[in-house]
Each structure stands twice: as C-alpha cells, then as structure tokens.
Structure 1
C-alpha cells in the first residue's frame, strides 16, 4: 500500500502572532474610542438642537414668515440633517483614520516584535549549528554570549551556554575515557599476539601448533580491528569518518558460513537468503551487526529443531535491509524495547544461563544509527524474534576524501 507523504503543517511564527495580537488590541481600542466619541458627539448635537428649538418656539425674530409649527418642523429637519451629516463624517473619517493609523501601528508592531525576538533567533541558530555538526561533540565550543539587557531572553541564552559548557566537559571526559580504554584493551591483545608468535616460531613447534597459532593470530587481528572500530565509533560519537561500498549480501554469506558450525552443534538450522543490498559504511561494523543478530538467534533459541533465517534485500525505497528471524521462547511485546538497552536480558532464563553479556542488541542499534539507519524488532507468533536493520542505500556520488 502506497503511503502518501505527510504534508508539513504550516505554522504562524511568534513574530506574526505578536503582531496580530498587538494590531488586534489596537483596532479594538480604536473602535471603542470611536464608539465613545460617537456617543458623546451625538449627545452634544442633541443638546444643541434642543436649545435651537426652544429659542425658535419662544417667538424670537426669524427671517422667515412661517407659522410656529412650520418653524419647528424646519428646525427639526435641519437638526436631523446636521446630525446625520456629522455622524456620517465622524464614522467615515474616523474609520479611515483608524485604518491608516492601525496599519502603521501593525507595521511598527512587526518591527518591534522582530527586534525583541532577534535574541531568540540567535539562540535558535546557535542550537541548530551545534545540532547539525558532523558529530555530537563537535561544535560544543560555540557559545551565544548574548549581550544587552538583563532580561528573560538573556537568562535563556545564559542557561543554554551553561548547558552546552557542561556537555562539552562531559564529552571531553568521555574522550579521555576512550583514550584510556583504548590503551587498556589493546595491551592484552598485543601481549597475546606476542606470545602466540613466540610459540609459533620455536624450533620445536609442530605443524599443528603453527596452524593453531595462525588461526589465533587471525582471530586476534579481527579483535584488534573490531576494538579499533568500536573505539573510533565511540570517540566520534556515532560518526563513521571513512565509508566504503559494502554489499550486505556478502556480509550475510560470510557470517552464516562462520556461524554454521556453532548452529549445527546446537541443533539449530541456519538458513541464508542473501539478496543484493548495497550501502556505504564500515564493513567490519556492519559485519558485527549480522554477527550479533545471528549469535543471539542461535543462543536464545528452542534448541534441537530450532532455526535461524538471515536475509538481506533492497527495499522499495532503496534502503538496504538485513532481517534475522529465529524460533525461541515467547517474547512479550512490551519487553522488546528494553532488549536494546545495555546489559538487559529477557527473563530469568537468560540471566541464569548467562549466554551473553547483554550488549549484542545495544551494539546493533548503535552501529545502525552510526550508519544513518534504524533497527526494529517484533515478536513472532510462534515464539522468537524478527529483527530488521535498515541502512541508507549506497550513494551514487560518494563524498570526496
């Protein structure tokens, strides 16, 4: 079913709302003022008309030779005509003046609102520049440093600067931790490599020892590259600095071949449906996604007779997708979001058996987000999970390095 794009709802800016409120209040006050003026003016006209009628009816001199009744009628007509003319003139000219002055007031309100809201625009622009930085720990050195009156807007800008400063210190502390962790993690691998190489190069080393040593060196090398990739990922705050073209079908084929012996030993059938799915990113980290999902599918399964299915494909919108389904125990839908949190396991069974460290799906989500993708999971009706990872398709024009 084709989804129609959701139209972005048009919004009225705060500046426009302030102008409308200011202009509306001005027009309302002007209408009230015009109404009060009309009432007072009408009362004054009526009072003046009464005096003229009283003067005429008292028999004072008049240039016209009319009866008293005709004189009264003529005075009343003149009074009504004068009243109507004055009222129409007041309403017409007052309305025109109110419209002109109201338009000028609305324009001034627009300019004043823009000047008052200018510091808020500065706060917004700074926040957007920090948010759009290539990594979250970049751009945090920037501050608003708003000058001017000590008002609510300046309090907001100062609070924002304080928040960014604390975040900058936090990221700086994280960078130092990553550097120290890098040294602590690489040291045992370096020592292990040295010991294996020493055992391999002994004159008494047999062919089996040399072959085992070569396999251990390969494993050690992969661990070193994986640790380097994860540390680089943590240091860059989920930013992949160097990307290359990767076909997820190759990754799926490679991982399933590696995990086939483990699945066979556990009595699990491992199925592979590797369709073309091109993307760009770090091949080792993308491999880690499939590896973690397959390992979870094998470890947390029904045992003998269970199965794990791994597929890769390109979606209709061009994104590359990896889907791993497996049989297993029932998973409550409300427990699914917690599975992606670090060191979280489902139920006491996993906790007792300690089949994993509780980091597998957390790493999957972090790597997927680092590649601009997403990961979702849903329980299967017969038990187990179906986990889907989507990442952007391969760019036709990759950025120049």
Structure 2
C-alpha cells in the first residue's frame, strides 16, 4: 500500500494561489480624497516654511529691553528693580561719577546676570512664537482640509454624472446624454467628448442593426425562392423536363444572387482591415473595367469619354479593382438610354484622383447623402432587376477609407452623378510604370484620351 506523497497538498496549495487566479484588488484612494490630501498637504508645507522664515527673522532681530532684563534679575534674587539701576555720584561729572548700585550679586557680575536674563527672555519669546504659530497653523490646516474636501467634491461632481451615465449605458440606452452645463473647462470638454462618443456609438449600433436586418432580408429572399422551387418540384412527381429546367434556372439565379451578396459582404469586411500594400495604377484598373463592361454600355447606347493619365497608388489591388469596378458599373447601370459616362484618372496636388461621371435621373442633395448607406437603393425595382443590393458605394467608401482616401459625390444639375475618389499617391520609384509612362506618353495603355459612341 503506497502512502500519499507529501508533495500533494503543497502542490494543491500552490495551484490555488497560481498567478492565473488574480484576487480582486482593493479599491484605492478616491480622487476626491487625493485632491484633499494634496491641497491640505501643500498648504501645511507652505505654512511650515512661512513659520520657519518668520522664526529666523524674528530671532535675528529680537532684543529684549534692558528694563525687562533688570526686572527678571530682581525677581530672581528678590531685590527691588530700582536697586539695579545705574546712578551718579553728586558733584563728579562724566563717567567717574557713574556708579553701579550692585556690581555683583552673590559673586556674579551684574552685566553677566543681565545678559543671561536677556538671552532667556529672547528664548522664551521665540518658544512662544513657535508654539502659537504651530497651533494657529493646525487650526487653519483643519479648516483648509475641510474646505479642500468640499471644493474637490464640487469640482468632481460632473465626473459622478459621467460615471452614472456610463453605468446606465447599454445597447438600448445609447441615446442618453450627460448634457453637462457650466463653464467651458476640462470637465465640460470631457463630458461633451463623452456625449460625442455616445452619438457615434449610437449611430454605429443603429447602422449595425440595420445592416444585419437588411443582410438577413437580402439572404432570405433567394433562399425563399430556392425552397419554393424545390417544394414545388417535390410535390409534383409528373414534372416535365422543361419545368425542371425552369426550376433549375430559378434556383441557379437565386444562388448566384446569394453568392454576389456574400461576396459584397466579404469585400466590406476585408476593407475594414489594413490593406496589403502594392503598387497599383488607377488608369490601368479603369481601362480594364471599362473594357469588361463595354458590351453592357453598347447595349444601352452610351457614349464613353475616357481620359486616363498615370495615377499610381499604394494599396490592395483586389480592393482597388472592386472600387473602380463598382463605380464603372454604377455609371453604366444607373444611366439613361443613349446617355453618356466618363472615366478620368490623374495626379493632382500630391494625390491620385479617379473621377467617374454619368448622365441619369436627377438626384437631390438629401438623397446624395444616403447613397453611402448600406443596402440603400433609390429605385428598388430597378436595383432588383439589375441585381444590385445597395452596397456598391458603401464598398467604394470603405475601400477608399482603408487606403486613407476620400470619396465625394456631386449630383449634376442636368441629372446624373459625379464621383471623385482621391487617394494618396504612391512614392514614384525610378523605373516604375508611372515614371516610364510620364517620360514616354506613347507607352500608355491603349484607349487613353478617347471618346467613343456605342
């Protein structure tokens, strides 16, 4: 029979106090108490310094009166104070007629006794000065600590409002605000900053809820189509091959729609993280995207104005391709038959600029501000027909923001929209494609600076 190892309890005890289990720390001193101690401590320190300076100044200048010294000596030896005064012999002028009534007392010279009495009187006066100064300092210090406690509490009252508001916050109470009133000081700025943060959080949570609701709705629609088609096919055993083909086409279209939505959502998620840095020319991407969608533009009879100059940026090529592709696609799909659209790239003021404009219906300024909202579609019937989800410009803005750029929407007076995307230009290295194109314009990709009619 084996005996238990004595290391068992020790090991168990060591495991119980392992660093992974952190005990709850004790609450430290409150800010109010710290401020009170600091204010009071500084006052006491300043008071002690002031008393010390005053003590040394009085010590160096204080000299007790001779009358008080003679009175102290007379009181000590029990003789009248007048007996210690100096007198003069009658009829003898000058210092020869000056005598002392008591030259010595008990064998001690009178001047020595008077000097010692003056010293003792001075020490007693300084002792009383020091004692009463400290007593006064103690009384004033108590008043100071009390006043500092009240003053700190009054000054920190806005922090209690901020704390109580923060404790009440949840996803359903983000509409609450501190609304602190008072002078424009640091605490007022803190409260206003906290309110601004709450506004941003409220907007972010609202956008997230709308995004989840819209995404769920958009995904539910093709899934409902797929389920309906499959249920109909399963309930009819005599389904003809043509009906099966139609059912398969409907299911395929619904699946493709779901894939496009999921792909768009993945692009949005990718744009939230830092992009992979590589050298990309916006002119090259624009040329490629225009060529890919040239047939769709020809079907609508759109006139294309193309003016591409090298615009080199640093970023994620796939995300930038999606940015340019979405803008070109919107310019074609949200256009009028026989209309026009233009694509232009250039480098200006240290930034790479992509400008895409198109004809189309009139867009109000209020509607322009909402075009960046996710799943927002000005014309839902047209968007459904063309397969849009209202995520195109949201993706454009997210990609531009991830690349430290900006996107500006400008509604045209005659109808349509102009989109300006500005991105930081990439540092031009010797031998790069942009530098070569700048030195040799003939080496630019074909199709630059052209105007075609579909």
TM-score normalised to the size of structure 1?
A: 0.43
> Which of these two proteins has the greater Rg computed from alpha carbons?
2
